[in-house]
Amino acid sequence: ETGVTQTPRHLVMGMTNKKSLKCEQHLGHNAMYWYKQSAKKPLELMFVYNFKEQTENNSVPSRFSPECPNSSHLFLHLHTLQPEDSALYLCASSQDWQRNTGELFFGEGSRLTVL
Amino acid sequence: KNQVEQSPQSLIILEGKNCTLQCNYTVSPFSNLRWYKQDTGRGPVSLTIMTFSENTKSNGRYTATLDADTKQSSLHITASQLSDSASYICVVSFLGGGFKTIFGAGTRLFVKA
């Protein structure tokens, strides 16, 4: 148990569906992240939120829409996805985005399959 | 270009044996380097973290080394166990305004009985 909880753990959706991934952290951290992990590729940073404000958007397509209502919750809204978007989506948190010694605490991931 | 390269891509060893995983990076200016362990279908979990001034760090049977001059790190696993079967990811952080990190692609380790 890392203190970061992701739901759902598995999701299968069609290209016309709309779904959301949820992440909640119980660590009192101020920064939250979404990463995409595809097979045999490094983790790709998608979005960073620090104190609820988006600080990074790594040129992510608009079919991925993040939402951070407070420092403990992070959502990733999905719509009109493509099959190549199938991957493991990992949420992480850290004490502070500014501190480069901050350790990342990851959730278990949401395995997404787009048909 | 900031990059982190890991080798080998995958490795198979027998239970009880030792192994060493490699990480080379070209990240600058360097802040710290971490090794994460990721079990299949789970999120990565931090094993060790080293800053510029540290050249070795241990966590149980895991020992990480860092050579900041050659920009190389290694993760040595002693007396491997079946539960060590996982992906091991090298992550380098650098100074650039905020939390900047580069992830390696990982080494997939299989420990067989």
Q: Which of A15-29, A84-98, B91-105 has the lowest mean pLDDT?
A: B91-105
What backbone torsions phi and psi does residue B43 show, to the nearest 5 degrees? Answer: -85, 155
Is the pLDDT score of A81 beyond 60?
yes
Q: Which of B51, B89, B99 sits opposite A97 (nearest CB)?
A: B99
Each residue of B55-72: pLDDT tens digit?
Answer: 999 999 999 999 999 999
**A chain contacts of residue B106, beta-carbon cutoff 8 Å:** 42
Mean of the per-residue pLDDT values of chain A: 92
pLDDT category of residue A97 using cuts at 50, 70 and 90: confident
Report pLDDT for A99: 65
Each residue of B2-31: pLDDT tens digit?
Answer: 899 999 999 999 999 999 999 999 988 888
pLDDT category of residue A101 using cuts at 50, 70 and 90: low
Report pLDDT for B2: 83
Is the pLDDT score of A98 beyond 80?
no
Mutation site for A-interface testing, chosen from B92, B99, B102, B103 by largest number of A Cβ within 10 Å: B99
Q: What does the alpha-carbon distance between residue A25 and residue A34 come to, in Å, rounded to a whole number?
A: 13
* Alpha-carbon distance B93 to nearest alpha carbon in chain A (angstroms): 7
Mutation site for B-interface testing, chosen from A23, A100, A108 by largest number of B Cβ within 10 Å: A100
Q: What percent of chain B has pLDDT over 90?
A: 75
Report pLDDT for B15: 98
CB contact at 8 A, B93 and A104? no
**3-class SS of residue B84:** helix
Report pLDDT for A102: 66
Q: Which of A24-28, A69-73, B24-28, B75-79 has the lowest mean pLDDT?
A: B24-28
The mean pLDDT value for A38-62 works out to 90
CB contact at 8 A, B28 and B2? yes
Q: What does the alpha-carbon distance between residue A90 and residue A104 come to, in Å, rounded to a whole number?
A: 11
pLDDT category of residue B98 using cuts at 50, 70 and 90: low
CB contact at 8 A, A20 and A13? no
The mean pLDDT value for B79-104 works out to 89
Chains A, B: CB pairs < 8 Å: 65
